[in-house]
Amino acid sequence: MDSLPLYRQLAARYVDAIHTGSLKQGDKLPSLRSLMRLHDISLSTALQLCRTMESDGWVEARDRSGYFVRRPKRLAIAPMEEPAAGVPPDPAQYVGIHAKVSDFVARRRQIPEKLNLSIARGAPQLYPAEALRNAMTRVLRQQPELLTVAAQLKGHRQFREVLAQRSVRVGMTISPEDILVTNGCIEALNLALRAVAQPGDTVAVESPTFYGLLQVLESLGMRALEIPTSPQTGISIEALELAIGAYDNIKAVVVVPHLQNPLGSVMPDAHKARLAQLCERHAIPLIEDDTYSELVDAPMPPRALKSWDTSGNVIYCASLHKILAPGLRLGWITAGRWQARVEMLKFAQTRNNEGLSQSAAGLFMGTGAYDRHLRHLRACLKTQREQTADAIAGYFPAGTRINLPPGGLQLWVELPERLSSSRVFDAALAERIVVAPGTLFSNSSRFDHYLRINCGWPYGEAVDSGLRRLGQIVETLMSRSAPASEGVKEPSRAPRACVEERNRTRVR
């Protein structure tokens, strides 16, 4: 936070006061002169503070009266409903997601995009490019042989030492020897699954889940058993227990406990403890994808699920792809009692990762600049998420639902009247706007009326106009789907999602 401009630091304080209830809807902010005296700031800084809070939707300016706390539009949208946990699981099935993903990628590439809301990463300017370039230059000066000698088997020692040191922050006690560097988290997941399961085996996954995981399962010839997942607390323990009772051949459980993709849920600690104990009791390997925990809005990242591991039953996978450098593809795995097998599979599959990027990342991560970067990244993403959520609340029709997560890069949006996200994708793509339809996140069609919307790009005119147009597309498609007796509705010119009385339920 200390790396942000002073006016943003002060704005964050007042937003915290609104969150805690110290400032309530309708309360007046101190006048500009009072703000100048209270915080020893200039008139320009006081104005920037108020205008920032106004543009972010926290206050409204009243003519000749000052700034007053308002209720952000996003808080008027109904939260996502919890999934039914007590119903028998769908049959485990061989994944068939490749065709859908391939069609999505191919069609997206055919049209020059104007706005891409489908990705799940931040804008390049949110990452410390210059600092990483300087670190890489320094490493090459000190170790020019990095380019001409074979890389170390498990990964560069300094990088693994930094990862081991930072693992203490999430409750793990591991040594550098327990860490194997991989080509991103996706290779780590591949290795974990190949270590514990075979083609034809059943793997329990969250539903919805990241389509990359479904692609991995399909490429390995494994069956996916989709377990209902809460937008608030993650995978349903009750539904998983039911599935374990119904299937005697579940070979692994894969979860993203923090800022789950696409839901954004964060498992409570008690939930993580129960999950680790359940899998250990039934001798089912538990694979943790911890890609997003550093993006949770908190001074310290949440405890890793593996911190409850007492027998080596949890395989921990993570990466820097979302939090430091999308271009480096740096991931890692610590595999508990399967460590030796994972290392053998890695050697057989891809051999060693190159050392230059690891050494540079390790050098940067060993300094205070890394934590300053993470604080700045979280603050920027929080602002962008809230602005995007407010835009969806203002531009999308009544009945739209969103889950506003406590961190991360994306929003999961439920379309009203079960409107098909595939139709929205088609119509938006024709206008060079790309969204991720919900059908990508499940092997079934139950999430066809959802969209995943990226919040990783700074909110500006292009994003705002794109979201406005997307809301118009949704409303137009709903009008065309209406029964003939109702006639064709005129597109709404007012914020529809925030005026419906039954939607006035607070979102987490």
Q: How far is CA 406 from CA 308, 319, 410, 468, in A?
A: 23, 20, 11, 24
SS3 316: strand
Predicted confidence at residue 199, as pLDDT, reads 96
pLDDT at 181 over 70: yes
Predicted confidence at residue 3, as pLDDT, reads 63
Q: What would the pLDDT profile of 104-120 be if each residue is shown by its tens digit?
A: 888 888 888 899 999 99
Contact by Cβ (8 Å): 114, 432: yes
The CA radius of gyration of the chain, in Å to the nearest whole number, is 24
Q: How far is CA 220 from CA 194, 198, 200, 274, in A?
A: 8, 8, 9, 29
C-alpha span between 345 and 337 (Å, rounded): 14
Q: What would the pLDDT profile of 430-462 be if each residue is shown by its tens digit?
A: 999 999 999 999 998 899 999 999 999 999 999
Q: How far is CA 31 from CA 45, 67, 290, in A?
A: 13, 8, 44
Beta-carbon contacts of residue 159 (< 8 Å; ≥ 6 apart):
181, 330, 358, 359, 361, 362, 365
Q: Average pLDDT, whole number, for the chain? A: 90
Q: What would the pLDDT profile of 334-370 be if each residue is shown by its tens digit?
A: 999 999 999 999 999 999 999 999 999 999 999 999 9
Cα angle 471, 323, 156 (rounded to 5 degrees) comes to 150
Which residue in 465, 404, 455, 450 sits closest to 78, CA to CA?
Answer: 404
C-alpha span between 72 and 90 (Å, rounded): 39
| Helical (H) or strand (E) element with 207 | strand 202-207
**For residues 412-431, average pLDDT:** 96
DSSP output for 244-310: HHH-S-EEEEEE--BS-TTT--B--HHHHHHHHHHHHHTT--EEEE-SSGGGBSSSSPPPPGGGG-S
pLDDT at 228 over 80: yes
In the numeric block, the tokens 């119903």 are attached to 87
Residue percentage of the chain with pLDDT more than 70: 93
Contact by Cβ (8 Å): 421, 437: yes
Which residue in 256, 272, 252, 273 sits closest to 264, CA to CA?
Answer: 256
Predicted confidence at residue 54, as pLDDT, reads 85
pLDDT at 183 over 90: yes
Predicted confidence at residue 316, as pLDDT, reads 98
C-alpha span between 375 and 122 (Å, rounded): 14
Q: What would the pLDDT profile of 363-410 be if each residue is shown by its tens digit?
A: 999 999 999 999 999 999 999 999 999 999 999 999 999 988 999 999
SS3 6: helix
Phi, then psi, of 325 in degrees rounded to 5: -155, 95
Q: What would the pLDDT profile of 466-499 be if each residue is shown by its tens digit?
A: 999 999 999 999 998 765 434 333 334 334 443 3
Q: What would the pLDDT profile of 261-306 be if each residue is shown by its tens digit?
A: 999 999 999 999 999 999 999 999 999 999 999 999 998 999 999 9
Contact by Cβ (8 Å): 195, 341: yes
Q: What would the pLDDT profile of 44-85 be if each residue is shown by its tens digit?
A: 999 999 988 887 778 888 888 899 998 776 766 777 888 887
Instruction: Report which residue type is found at 443.
Output: N
**For residues 16-43, average pLDDT:** 88
**pTM score above 0.75:** yes
Predicted confidence at residue 502, as pLDDT, reads 32
Domains of the chain, with CATH numbers? 6-71 (1.10.10.10), 93-124+372-503 (3.90.1150.10), 126-369 (3.40.640.10)
Q: What would the pLDDT profile of 314-332 be if each residue is shown by its tens digit?
A: 999 999 999 999 999 999 9
Tokens representing residue 77 in the block: 């949208």
Reported as a pLDDT band with limits 50, 70 and 90, residue 24 is confident
Contact by Cβ (8 Å): 312, 178: no
Instruction: Report which residue type is found at 178.
Output: D
